[in-house]
Amino acid sequence: MSVSDLTTLDKPNLKVLSTTTSTNDAAREWLNSGAPDGATLVADYQTAGRGRLGRQWHSPRGLDLTLSMIFIAPIESLRLVPLLGGLAVRAAVEEFLPPVIVPQIKWPNDILASGFKLAGVLAELISQPVSAAILGIGVNLNTRAGDFPADLRRPAASLGMLRGKAVKRDQFLESVLFHLKAYRKMWFQTPRSLVTTFSANCLTLGKKVKVSPPGREPFEATASGVDPFGTLMVVDRKGTTIPVEAGDVDPVD
């Protein structure tokens, strides 16, 4: 497959690149030169794709989906963009899986199915030239089992592996753009529903979890809810409710 299979979608404000460092960087440059809200950029290959918490994100050329969308909005509303991204990707992934496999979101926005990570979302906030977020989405569509990096912190799979059939990238792109548009509407109109819908699809809630806040000691707690800003609330062993803004939160088996 080449970049041409991504260019079949002729949409305004959708750019397709052959190679870039990171689609989040390329989207940011585009924003600097006047990209509008909702502008979206897809790349066939990233030479320096990045994940949350300073990790790397690898996708072989031409097999998966790496995308970034620009959200221009006041800073307060941008806090829900990571959740919005997780919801849109989850909905798109669900369309491509058999009904017995139900994908879920691990807070804040990893997409898991049958215990494997299928997709990740990285939202980066920007204050200049306007208040904006770059929502980066990486989905393992057709990567083969042996092609994942050996040092991943959780087992990964591709959608193609789980359903036993290759995924057409342009079809998946169309689906994820459709769901991004729908959840953007919910975000504008009824942000509370976005949080409610997120909570209904979040596998973390109600579970005993290990919380690993960046640069701090991990601790065990129970995930009790998500507040109106997308912050995860957990209750520790002493019964104290603690807000978790960032970090890894893994269910304890």
CA 163/CA 179 separation, integer angstroms: 21
C-beta of 57 vs 198, nearer to ligand BTN = 57
**H helix or E strand, kind and range, residue 24:** helix 23-32
The residue sitting closest to ligand BTN, measured at its beta carbon, is 120
Are the C-beta atoms of residues 140 and 64 closer than 8 Å to each other? yes
Kindly state the smallest distance separating residue 116's Cβ from ligand BTN, in Å. 13
Strand 65-72 to 14-20 pairing: unpaired
Kindly state the smallest distance separating residue 20's Cβ from ligand BTN, in Å. 9
For the CA atoms of 111, 231, 85, 148, what is the dihedral angle to 10 degrees? -30
Kindly state the smallest distance separating residue 103's Cβ from ligand BTN, in Å. 14
C-beta of 85 vs 191, nearer to ligand BTN = 85
For ligand BTN, the binding residues (CB under 6 A) are 22-24, 46, 49-52, 55, 57, 66-68, 110, 120-122, 136-138
C-beta of 141 vs 234, nearer to ligand BTN = 141
C-beta of 61 vs 222, nearer to ligand BTN = 61
Kindly state the smallest distance separating residue 65's Cβ from ligand BTN, in Å. 8
C-beta of 152 vs 236, nearer to ligand BTN = 152
Kindly state the smallest distance separating residue 235's Cβ from ligand BTN, in Å. 26
C-beta of 48 vs 252, nearer to ligand BTN = 48
10: left (phi over 0), alpha (psi -120 to 50) or beta: beta
Are the C-beta atoms of residues 124 and 24 closer than 8 Å to each other? yes
206: left (phi over 0), alpha (psi -120 to 50) or beta: left
250: left (phi over 0), alpha (psi -120 to 50) or beta: beta
Kindly state the smallest distance separating residue 234's Cβ from ligand BTN, in Å. 20
C-beta of 40 vs 197, nearer to ligand BTN = 40
**H helix or E strand, kind and range, residue 199:** helix 191-200
Kindly state the smallest distance separating residue 141's Cβ from ligand BTN, in Å. 12
Q: Which is nearest to 80 in space by CA: 203, 223, 231? A: 231
For the CA atoms of 131, 227, 177, 251, what is the dihedral angle to 10 degrees? 120
CB proximity list for 206: less than 8 A, separation 6 or greater:
222, 223, 224
